[in-house]
Amino acid sequence: MLTLFKTLDAWIGTPICAVLGLFPGLWRRKILVPPLEARSILVVKMVALGDWVLILPVLKRIKDTFPEKRITVMASPRVAAIIENQPFIDEIIYIDPGSRQFGLKKMIETIRLLRDRQFDCVLELTHYYRFIGILLAWGETGTWVGFDLPKQHKNKLRTHLIPYRVDFHELENFMQFAGPIGADTSIPERLVPLPISSGEFDSAFSKLAAGNPENRPYILVHPGCSPASKLRYWEDEKWVTLVHQLIAKDTHEIVIVGGKDERRFIPLFSNPRLLNLIDKLSLKETCALMTRCDAYIGLDTGPTHLAAAHGASVLALFGPNTPTKWAPYGNNHQIIYSPPMCSPCIRQFEGYVPKRCSNAEDRLCMKSITVHEVMRSIYLQNGILSPSD
């Protein structure tokens, strides 16, 4: 369903946005509130856990600077765990593009809601979805801030454009949205962690204790990523070999984590000497474990950004995407990235996420990463394994 939605968004949404951009007088409010004077702000970003981890500092900065401003977020329920109960978000409006429930009726309801609410300013932090442009236009959006991405055909819909730098870390790009509101755009020292309750902490560590009765230090391994991002996968047999080598060192409890998308890994990690918690933890319980792990090993995916936000020492494996933009933010992280000429092939800012590898040696960028490299990097980063690796 999501694939169909993306296809329709590109082929139908593009010409509609182009036409709307030619005739803004048909839909734009006559009186615009300058961003500096906006009291009600709508922040729009549908999906992508990792993106939202990097967007939270923007909203916190705005709220810290102007506590009187009301911040409303419009997003997919898929990112609910990231945005709910954040003290700097006043309200959340959920819509779920790509789901079976999201159709013409829901679009009309959303347009009516936008017209009724008359937000002073919209911060649209999306990279591509054109349907967002249609919703905001027909919702009679006034002041509208968005990235300067001409290939998305939404620039003429916006009143303020944020320069998009492909050589910036994505956090740096997102922080620029604080500028038009009057807040500081400098990079924060740290990311914003999720609000984790004491009950969620207790639940997470009771599940850890059940498989780690000696309370040994532990390493978290997250082997998966979104099914929509299969080019980022590392081979299953390498994950298995890596975990077996980590177990053989006998210095740490090895804890495998992941959600429903990682269920296929469950039979691969059946060694009784490891703790397999795939699909046994909520996202916030996983984040609780991140706060005390000695290391976190994962791919270019949302949980890797969450690990960085919760103070973990992260080792991230990159291939089709560039760590220049998407590396886990902060100090004490390591990246393994040995790109062939074709990398990076993922360009979210152009709405381009290839389904297949164009390289003659399929997914060479990920296949070239060896278990030995990963083991050696863990030692160099943390000094928790013997130098012989």
Q: What is the CA radius of gyration of the chain?
A: 22
Q: Is 239 helix (H, G, I), strand (E, B) or coil?
A: helix
Tell me, what's the pLDDT at 355? 74
Better-predicted residue by pLDDT, 101 or 375: 375
Q: Is 358 exposed, middle or buried (0-12, 13-18, 19+ CB in 10 A)?
A: exposed
Enter the DSSP assignment of 101: T
- How far is residue 202's CA from residue 196's CA, in Å, rounded to a whole number? 10
Better-predicted residue by pLDDT, 194 or 338: 194
Band (pLDDT 50/70/90 cuts) for residue 284 is very high
Tell me, what's the pLDDT at 339? 80
Tell me, what's the pLDDT at 98? 67
- Residues 59-87 have a mean pLDDT of 96
Q: Which of 18-27, 34-43, 197-206, 346-355 has the lowest mean pLDDT?
A: 346-355
pLDDT of 389 > 70? The answer is no
Q: What is the pLDDT of residues 139-162, one digit of tens each?
A: 888 899 999 988 778 888 899 999
pLDDT of 387 > 50? The answer is no
CB 127 within 8 A of CB 351: yes
Q: Which of 23-37, 255-269, 294-308 has the lowest mean pLDDT?
A: 23-37
Tell me, what's the pLDDT at 32? 87
Give just the sign of the alpha carbon dihedral 32, 37, 42, 43: positive
- How far is residue 73's CA from residue 123's CA, in Å, rounded to a whole number? 9
Q: Which of 193-202, 279-288, 377-386 has the lowest mean pLDDT?
A: 377-386
The domain 2-178: what is its CATH number? 3.40.50.2000
- Residues 376-384 have a mean pLDDT of 75
CB 354 within 8 A of CB 346: yes
Q: Residue 94 half-sphere exposure, CB side, CA atoms within 13 Å?
A: 11
In the chain, CATH 3.40.50.2000 sits at: 2-178, 198-382
Enter the DSSP assignment of 352: B
- Residues 168-175 have a mean pLDDT of 95
The strand pairing partners of 82, in sequence order, are: none
pLDDT of 385 > 80? The answer is no
% of the chain residues with pLDDT over 90: 58
Q: What is the pLDDT of residues 210-254, one digit of tens each?
A: 998 889 999 999 998 877 778 889 999 999 999 999 999 988 999
Q: Are strands 253-256 and 218-221 parallel, antiparallel or unpaired?
A: parallel
CA dihedral 142, 143, 148, 151 (to 10 degrees): 0
Distance set, CA 80 to CA 46, 84, 380, 384 (Å): 11, 6, 36, 35
Tell me, what's the pLDDT at 1? 59
- How far is residue 263's CA from residue 223's CA, in Å, rounded to a whole number? 11
Better-predicted residue by pLDDT, 376 or 360: 376
H or E element, residue 356: none
Angle between helices 104-117 and 130-138 (to 10 degrees): 50
- How far is residue 29's CA from residue 21's CA, in Å, rounded to a whole number? 14
The residue among 285, 359, 269, 362 whose CA lies nearest residue 81 is 285
pLDDT of 351 > 80? The answer is no
Q: Report the top-level CATH class of 198-382.
A: alpha beta
- Say if residue 77 is preceded by a cis peptide, omega within 30 of 0: no
* Count of Cβ atoms closer than 10 Å to residue 241 Cβ: 16
Band (pLDDT 50/70/90 cuts) for residue 40 is very high
- How far is residue 107's CA from residue 95's CA, in Å, rounded to a whole number? 9
